[in-house]
Each structure stands twice: as C-alpha cells, then as structure tokens.
Amino acid sequence: MAASELWGEATNIVLSWRPVAVVLFPMTAALVLAVLGVKKKRHIGFWAAVAGCITFLLVLSLLPLLREGVVEHRFADMMGLGLMFRVDLLGFIFAFLMSLAWMLVLVYASHYLQVEGFPVFYFPFALLTLGSCLGVVLTGDLVSLFLFFELMTFSSFVLVITRRDRPAMAAGKLYLYMGVAGGLILLFGIFAIFNAAGTVEIAPLMQELAGVEKTGLGIVFGCFFIGFGIKAGVVPLHFWMPKAYGAGPAVVNALSSGAMIKAGVYGILRVLLLILTPASLEWSELYSFALSSGYWVMWIGLLTMVAGALLALFQGHIMRLLAFSSISQVGYMITGLGAAAYLLGAEEAMGYSGAVLHAFNHTLYKTAFFLIAGIIFYRAGTLELGKLGGLAKKMPLLTAFFVLAALGIAGVPGLNGYISKTLVHDALLEAYKLYGGWDIYLAEKIFVAGSALTLCYYLKFFQKAFLGEETRARIRSAPWLLYAPLFVLGLFMLVVGLQPGFFVEDFVLASTYAFTFEPYGIEHVARLDFFSYQPLAAALTVIITAVAIYVPLYRWKLFDRELPAWFSVESMLMLPAARLFYQILCRMGVTLDHSVNRLYFGVGGKFLKFCRYVGSFDSNLDSFFEQSSRKVYRLMERSRELDDALNEAYEKTGSTARDFADRSSRLDGALNRAYESTGRAARGLADRTAHFDKALDKTYAATGRAARNLAEKTTRFDRALDKTYESSSKTAQKLAGKTLRLERVEVKEPAPTAAPDGREKAEAGDRKGRRPAFNPLEWNIKNINFDQLLMVLMLGIVIFILFYYGRALVDL
C-alpha cells in the first residue's frame, strides 16, 4: 500500500518533545500576550497572528517525524497516571486543520476586531483555546485528553462572551454549564473505562472490556457520546450553538465552527472506532457492540443532518443560519462515523475516510463562510438577511468566494464537499449492500434529502444577501488582509475537489494505520473513482431535489417565516428539564429549611416549655415569649429602681449640700452674734482703742466674704451634681435594658467626689456598655435546642441500627 511507504509504521515510536512544544507554545504566547496586552492594545493582534503562524509551522514540523512512526512524549508522574502526548496521522490531520483555521482567523481578526472595539480578552484566550484544542487531538490517553478538553471549555467560554452584552453572557453561561456537565459525564465514561480495562490509553480496548455486559458498555459509550456530542453540536444537544453563534463575533464563530467542534467529532471517532473495537481483525463477538452502536450513531447523525438543515432554512440571521448549517454538517461526519462502525470488519474505511475528510472540508468552507459573514458585517454593518440585498454588485470578489464555498458545501462536483459527501454516501450504499433492509434504504434517501436542503438554504442565503434590491446600508471598504485568508481557503477547496487522490490516499486512508480496519476496504476506497457515472449521478439527484424543494418554497415565500419559539429542542425538552432540576434542588433546600424551622419552632418550643415547666414548677408560664417579655419588664423595673436609687442618692447629696449651706449661714449668724456680743462687750468695756475696733471690723468683713464664697461654691457644686445625675441617669436608662452587668457598674457610680470626675466615670461606664452583652436572654441562638435534639436523635438512630444488627454478635 502506498501509505506505508510514505509514513512510518504504527509500531515504530519516535520520542520527541515536539508535540509538547506544539501544545505549549500557543499557551505560553497567550500568557505573554495577556500580560503585554494590557498596555499595547493595538499591536496585540499582530503578535497573535504571528503566534498563530508559528503554531501552524510547529504542527507542520511534526510531518517529518510522522514519516518515521508515531510521535510520543510521556510525563510519567504527572497527575498520578502520567500525561502522554501521542501523535499519529489522524491526530496530525485534526491538528493541521485546527492550526490552519486558527492561523487564518487570527490574521483576519487582527484587522477585523476594530469593528468589535478590540475586546481585550480575545487574542490571549484564542491562543489558549488553540493550545488546548491541539492538546485534545495530540494526546494519547483519555485523562490527558480530558484535561485539555476541559481547558478548552473554559478558555472558549471567554471567547463566546467576547461581546459581554446580555445575550452573549446568557449564551456563554449556557455554553459553560453544558460544557461542565458534558465534561463530568465524559469523566464518568473515563472512570468506567479505567476501572474495567485498567488503562486509559487510547488504544483498542475491546478485549479488556469483554467482561463488561452490553448495557454497561452502552452506558459507557453513551457517556462519551454525550460528553463529546455537546461540543460537536449533535442533535438534541446542539441548542447552545445558535445562541452562542448568534451572540458572538465572526472571528469567534469561525474558530468554534471551523475547528472546535471538530474536537468533539474527534473524540467520538476515537472512542467509537478505536477504543470500543477489538484489536485483531478476526471476526468475533467483540464486534457486535460496535455494530449496534454504529447503527444508532448513524441514525443520530442523519437526524442531526436533517434537523440542522431544516432549521437553517428558516433563519433570518446569517450567524444563526451558519450555526444550524454547522450542526447539519456535523451530522454528515457523525453519519460517516456511524456507518464506519456499522460496517466494521468490512467496508469501514469508506465511512471513516468520508467523516475525516468531511471534517477537513467543513473547516475549509465553514471558516470561509464565517469570514465572509464577518466581511459583510464589517462593510454593511448588519447580518440580518432581511436588511441585506444586492451585495453581488457592491462586493463582486466576496460574491465569488461565497459561490465557491457554497458550491463546496453543497457537494457540487469539482469542489471539496463533493468528495467527502460521496464517500459518506457510498458508505451508506455499502451498508445497504451488506445488510439490506428498508431502514438503510431510507437512511440513504434521508441523506440525499439532507444534502438537497443544504443546497436550498445556501440558495436562500445567496438570493437574499447577494441578489435583489440593493441594501440601504452604507458600505465601507475593507482592507485586503480580510480577503487573504479566503484566498488560502479557496485554494485548498479547489485542490481537494480536483485532486482528491492526494488527500484521500496519502492522508486520510493512510491514517487508518492506527485502527484495525480491513485492508480490502481500504483498498476499495483507494481505487474509488470520484468522477465516474454513479457518484456524479447522485450529485445531480441532489441538485434536482434541491431545486424541486426550493422553487415552491420561494414562490410561496415560506422562507420569511421564522419558526415559533417553542418549536425547538431547547424549549420543548431541555429548558423544562433544567428548570425541573433546579426547582427540585431549590425546593428541596427550601423545604428542608422550612421544615427544619417548623420542626424547631414546634419541637424546640415544646422542649423548652417542658424544661421550664419541670425546672421552675411554675405552671403559670404560658410561653417562652411571655416569660422573656416579663423579664424585659422586670429589667425595666429594675432600671426604674435604679433610677429611684439615683434620685435618692442625688437628693441625699443635695440635702447634705443644703445642710452645709445652712450650717455656714448659721455660722455666719453665730459670728454675727459673736461680733455683736463682742462689740457690746467692747463698747461696754469702753472703747479703749480705735485700732482694735477697726481690726475687728476688718476681720468680720473678711470672714463674711469667705463665708459667702463658701456658700456660692456649694451651690455651684450642687448644680454640677445635678448635671452629672442627669447624664448618668440618661445613660443608665439607655443601658439598663441591655445589660445586667452594667447595673453593678452603675450602682457603684452615684457618689461622685467632684463634678468632672463623675462625668469621666459615666463615660467609662458608657464605654463598658458598648461591649457585647453576655446576656443569654438576648442571644439569637435559635436552633440550639433543636441541634441538641438532633444529636440525641442521631445517637438514638445509630444505636438502634447498631443494636439491631448487633444481635448477630450476641449469637456468635
């Protein structure tokens, strides 16, 4: 076979750091840009584009190594199980398409983002997402894959909310929660695989899993399918996509649709065709699981294809149309994979190569579509199909690219989509040949119908946007840099379409060396002639069917109708489910809380009452509240008593002061009397000397003045005391209700020696009063009785259970 000459054997392992570098370089670049980007907003785009180009070159540098064999690098101790990078040709194909899409989009975005006002986070997180996407496809075990898959979810979340407006945040949250839920479901599958097989390496494990019963395997595969399917947008897990795409700028959607959803497809591919297949070619019972799961996957793929295409037909917003188109296109890949698994052991290479090539092709034209939509937005300022029209005259170059991509996606011979669609279609035909049955026959017809619908909605897109009345929007000019990526993508599309052999044989078919596929099936695909009568006739059938659907729809103007809001999986199934889930959780919490409260108020109250009853022998206590109010009342009373005591104290002090004053006046009188008597005596004794008399006179005056002073001082003191009493009694009133302890402090208080000193003390009392009161009556420990009761209950239950089972011990 030609493949083995070009590429190394799968058993030949080349140890190299390069895969690690491929993954880590964009992540490091993201970190550097995030740090630098804070200051230099304008140049960040340029450097991000450079980083994207370097990453692309790094991915290409894996090629020479792949010629020798499978590239590996292991970190033995990491995360307990070891982190393993492992690149085979399939991983390389996906890495190639991702890094290609990223490089082109980053180059485009460096100019485009000025219409979006240069969101700061875009470039670093785009590079981080690139690194994690590459990590997903370049790792060799499920845990490492999961690591990068989760990283991708979180970093791409930031991309989804680039615009930060309300719809973007809502879409982002939906995306994140679905991503996290999907990741955990995926993790369940990984746990199960590891438990059953003892390894998480991405390798054929069916032999190790042979012991697991079929329902178990079904659940495991279901977990993987849901986990990866959410990212890939498989119906009915697709509904985040139209929301996220509708709310995001073109440069995010191009990455998401062109590359990120491929990570999901890649995961399904690896699990379905590699992990859950036997390692040997010999036919055995081990195949049966792959066959039956392949059958169901095929049908889910067809459902996704048709549902996506049908919904796309009725969209009026370009981004939403492209989102549904992406869903529909993922349907092709899933159908191809399902057919491959269904045909396992025979013609599996047909479906496999169809799916892989379609993933590559889809990257080419869907990236192109989103970039075209970006240019339309850039130049015309709107993406509503109803407001656009006649763009063909104003943007001839863009129209040419659009036609190229549309013909590519519609599967017109000569372009890339034709090749991969033919392969998937042939796989369905092979299945019909092998198994027969009306269901497979129907599947083939549905496939044709889906392809026809694809053509229809692009016709609608073309007619609404590019033909007809010219738009009234002002058309800006766009720099050539925005067109450059389209040239590259167009070139690739033409090359794949005209030279399919190179891609199909040397890459896609060669990548089967990692799988256990029938050699003759591979040979069959290699010998397939894409330009023979039968596939061309099939393509023609599709085109005729498309016209047959389109013309009546156009005549009756059915396109202009939007589907009603309730008509979607989201509003019919997922939203009610999510609401129910949330309701159950919240209700449960609230109900529990309420019942605990009620239980407390019931049980705790009664318990308390009972305790009080027993403890105090007071049958008059009606309820806890009454008692506490009585306590408060008592407290009030006590404070009044305190008040009275203070009053008394004041009065006492006052009367003492008054006494003092009286006494001094009495002293005055006594002195007077003494003077008089002395005077009389002196006069009686005869006024011997005038000097003596005068001196006496002076003494009298001085003593009198001193006495008056004394009286004045006493009244001043009296007034000061009055004030002190007032302030302290006020504080006392304030605090009495709060504290018992304060009481003691204040009772000591009303004996101020001097006025200022008393005020100080009152202040000190005040400060003490602000401390937390250690008054259990005031504490709001509402549940403590309940808690104790709960503890006793628990103890009782545990004892009961243990004793119940412990009877066996007694019998021992």
The least CB distance from residue 602 to another protein, in Å, is 17
Cβ closest to another protein, residue 150 vs residue 430: 150
The least CB distance from residue 777 to another protein, in Å, is 13
The least CB distance from residue 587 to another protein, in Å, is 10
Cβ closest to another protein, residue 180 vs residue 711: 180
The least CB distance from residue 781 to another protein, in Å, is 5
In 3D space, the residue among 65, 173, 61, 46 whose CA is nearest the CA of residue 106 turns out to be: 46
Cβ closest to another protein, residue 13 vs residue 773: 773
Cβ closest to another protein, residue 79 vs residue 540: 79
Residue with tokens 């496939």, as numbered in its chain: 447
The least CB distance from residue 260 to another protein, in Å, is 18
Task: In whole angstroms, give the CA distance from residue 405 to residue 96.
Answer: 20
Packed helices 416-435 and 318-342: angle between N→C axes, nearest 10 degrees: 40
The least CB distance from residue 448 to another protein, in Å, is 41
DSSP assigned state of 779: -
Cβ closest to another protein, residue 194 vs residue 296: 194
The least CB distance from residue 13 to another protein, in Å, is 24
Q: Answer whether 49's CB lies under 8 Å from 110's CB.
A: yes
Q: Answer whether 405's CB lies under 8 Å from 369's CB.
A: yes
Q: What share of the chain is helix, strand, coil (3-state, %, to 5)?
A: 80, 5, 20
- Looking at this protein, which amino acid is placed at residue 709? N
Cβ closest to another protein, residue 132 vs residue 420: 132
In 3D space, the residue among 51, 58, 32, 48 whose CA is nearest the CA of residue 109 turns out to be: 48
The least CB distance from residue 219 to another protein, in Å, is 9
Cβ closest to another protein, residue 217 vs residue 350: 217
Cβ closest to another protein, residue 176 vs residue 274: 176
The least CB distance from residue 623 to another protein, in Å, is 23
Cβ closest to another protein, residue 183 vs residue 497: 183
Task: In whole angstroms, give the CA distance from residue 798 to residue 362.
Answer: 62
Q: Answer whether 350's CB lies under 8 Å from 430's CB.
A: yes
Residue with tokens 């009296």, as numbered in its chain: 718
Task: In whole angstroms, give the CA distance from residue 263 to residue 494.
Answer: 25
SS3 label, residue 48? helix
Q: Which token pair is 524?
A: 């069959």
**Torsion-angle region of 542 (φ positive above 0: left; ψ -120 to 50: alpha; else: beta):** alpha
Cβ closest to another protein, residue 225 vs residue 401: 225
Which residues, in sequence order, are bridge partners of residue 84?
Answer: 74
End-to-end CA distance of the chain: 73
The least CB distance from residue 794 to another protein, in Å, is 5
In 3D space, the residue among 700, 716, 642 whose CA is nearest the CA of residue 667 turns out to be: 700
Strand order in the sheet with 9-15: 9-15, 69-75, 83-87
Task: Give the interface with another protein as residue ranges (CB under 8 A).
Answer: 77-80, 143, 146-147, 150-151, 154, 157-158, 161, 164, 169, 172-173, 176-177, 180-181, 184-185, 187-188, 191-192, 194-195, 585-586, 588-590, 592, 771-772, 774, 779-781, 783-784, 786-788, 790-791, 794-795, 798-799, 801-803, 805-806, 808-810, 812
> For the chain, how many residues are written?
812
In 3D space, the residue among 74, 163, 59, 186 whose CA is nearest the CA of residue 117 turns out to be: 163
